[in-house]
Structure 1
Amino acid sequence: MPLGHRLLALSVALIWGLNFIAIDASLTHFPPFFLVALRFTLIALPTVLLVPRPKVPVRWLVGYGIGFGTLQFLFLYWAMAAGMPAGLASLVLQASAPFTVLLGAVLLRERLSARQAVGIAVAVCGMALVGWQRAEHAAVLPFLLTLAGAFGWAIGNTCNRLARPANPLHLALWMSVVPPLPILALAFAVEGPGPIAASLASVGTAAALPAVAGLAYTVVIGTVLGSGVWTWLMARHPAGVVAPFSMLVPVVGMAAAWMVLRESATPGELVGSALVVGGVLLGSSQTRRPPRAEEPPPEPLPRDPGLEEAPAAR
């Protein structure tokens, strides 16, 4: 991968890592379920008007929207509103990688290599350690909700793989058409119209400015720009070359949360984080087959000195 493309991959990891800080800022003003519906509505409206619908089966488009869009962000925003630290959320959400491998093995009958099995085991041990630390020092429910969001992401990955889109970016944008209506209905049923109306009525105040800026970041920078650059890179390089850069997302997320939000992690959580990142890297890397040795050219047959070429006819 050229240096310029590596810098683009690093920039996406930076964008997505800071996305959790933006979500945290948005949740200070908007109710979580309504915020998810609002986020996807802002993407869905221009998508329907300007972007051609991808030529994929509707069931996989809807499944991608339910898994990646609805379940992932519904549980993630709920978890962060319930007290899940932004930095730790960026890490736990990486459980989508081993979940995706397991779903592929169970539902798609994809072969699970020994390296992937070991990577999943290491990542699961890391998650268990982080969960145990959460149970010891804070409420465990936000941790479980974030895990549920990671599983939703894995469902979306599986549907995306079955869809086989010719233009992945179009599918990623049209996925946003699925979440708004069901999540908006859930928001009105659970959060009530009062808090929703209050958040909209005060959206122009100075106190709401960080939340609005965070929402704009997640929509324009995190989703459109970040996903667009990532899709562009995935179309030009092998997945095994590009995908490991996503492991920098929790590194950026946890570092940014420490610097901006003053979040801290216990030593056990840091060890568990290292196990998760290492396990996902191990499971997602591919074993390179050794190059086949070239056969040496056959040795020339010994020339019979008694045989001479006849002189060419004149």
Structure 2
Amino acid sequence: MNLKDSLLALTVIAVWGVNFFFMKIALDEVSPMVLGMLRFALILLPAVFLLKRPAVPWYWLAAYGATISFGQFSLMFTALSLGMPTGLAALLLQGQVFFTVFLAAVFFREPVQPNHLLGIVGAAAGLLLIGVGQYRGSVPLLAMWPVLGAAACWAAGNIVVKYIGRVNALSLVVWGNISALLLFGVCAFWFYGAEGVQAQLAGLSWRGIAGVVFLAYVASLVGYAGWGGLLSRYPAAQITPLALLVPVVALLVARVWLNEEMNGWHWSGVIVVMAALLIHVFGGRYRGRLKTGLPK
């Protein structure tokens, strides 16, 4: 990877790590559904008039927005609003790796390797430790489940993307999120009514506006476009493991900017889950090297 693309990769990782901080400050002023509505309204406008619609059936575009956008972020925003620490949320969201492997095995008959199974078992053990930490800490255990649901929705979106095939990544992010905007809008007006939504919008400060703008234009458009560009130029196996650095950045940001405290159970779970992710991603390569090193 050349220097330019290395810097691009680091930028995307930093953006996605800081992304959780901006979610938190936006959720201090608006509800999860209104935040989602604002985020995807900004993503679509004016980009939907500037980018050509990808050659994908409408039902696949709708499925993309319903899973990877509405499902993922409605649950993630809900978890953060319930008090889930942003650093832990970023880590647990990486559970999408394991959910994706399971769904790919079901829908595409992709083989599940021993390192995948070991990684899943390790991640389950890490989640159990984090669950104990939640139970013993001040954050309600209930806040943990929406994050896992968000990870499952991201994984479902990954399967939709596999069915869609190769298209312009930025066009898919824009056109595929029309359904997300509609779903967030319906939920926002259903839960709070027109007056409630209007009151939340009127109460936005510059911090809340900055949070929404960052989520829409930096985290979504810049982040996904940069990531898609890297995937188009390099093997997925070289690029996707870099996402493991996102929770590291999010944990550091949460500690420095939000003063989020985690107990020993949390940190033990973090270490176990990160180790499980590393086994899942890199275990196959190590196993292959051991096989090639064996005498014939």
TM-score of the two chains, using structure 2 as the length reference: 0.92
Shift of 1:246: 0.7
2:158 aligns with 157
State the distance in 2 between where 1:42 and 1:86 align: 23
Letter in 1 for 2:167: A
State the distance in 1 between where 2:34 and 2:120 align: 34
State the distance in 2 between where 1:276 and 1:58 align: 37
1:1-314 equivalences under 5 Å are 1-137=1-137, 138-203=139-204, 208-285=205-282, 286-287=284-285, 289=288
Quick one: structure 1 residues 57 and 256, their matched pair in 2 at CA, closer, same or farther if it must change by over 3 Å?
Answer: same
State the distance in 2 between where 1:292 and 1:273 align: 33
| Bigger radius of gyration among the two | 1
Q: Deviations over 1:111-138 (max 9, x none)?
A: 1111111112212221221122112223
State the distance in 2 between where 1:72 and 1:39 align: 13
Aligned length in residues: 289
Letter in 2 for 1:193: A
Shift of 1:200: 1.8
State the distance in 2 between where 1:5 and 1:48 align: 27
Shift of 1:166: 2.8
Name structure 2 gaps, 5 residues minimum.
none
State the distance in 1 between where 2:258 and 2:26 align: 14
- Is the 1:24–1:80 Cα contact (8 Å) retained in structure 2? yes
Q: CA RMSD in A?
A: 1.8
State the distance in 2 between where 1:211 and 1:166 align: 33
State the distance in 2 between where 1:171 and 1:277 align: 30
Which of 37-46 and 95-104 deviates more?
A: 37-46
Shift of 1:168: 2.5
State the distance in 2 between where 1:191 and 1:32 align: 11
Letter in 2 for 1:182: L
- Is the 1:55–1:165 Cα contact (8 Å) retained in structure 2? no
Taking only the aligned residue pairs, the percentage that are identical comes to: 33
Q: Deviations over 1:21-56 (max 9, x none)?
A: 001111111121111011011112323211111112
State the distance in 2 between where 1:121 and 1:6 align: 32
More helix by share: 2
State the distance in 1 between where 2:195 and 2:275 align: 45
- Is the 2:42–2:217 Cα contact (8 Å) retained in structure 1? no
Q: Deviations over 1:266-292 (max 9, x none)?
A: 111112112222222221234275698
State the distance in 1 between where 2:238 and 2:22 align: 28
Letter in 2 for 1:165: R
Q: Deviations over 1:33-88 (max 9, x none)?
A: 11101101111232321111111233322211111011000000111111111111
- Is the 2:61–2:177 Cα contact (8 Å) retained in structure 1? no
Which of 276-285 and 109-118 deviates more?
A: 276-285
Letter in 2 for 1:201: A
TM-score of the two chains, using structure 1 as the length reference: 0.87
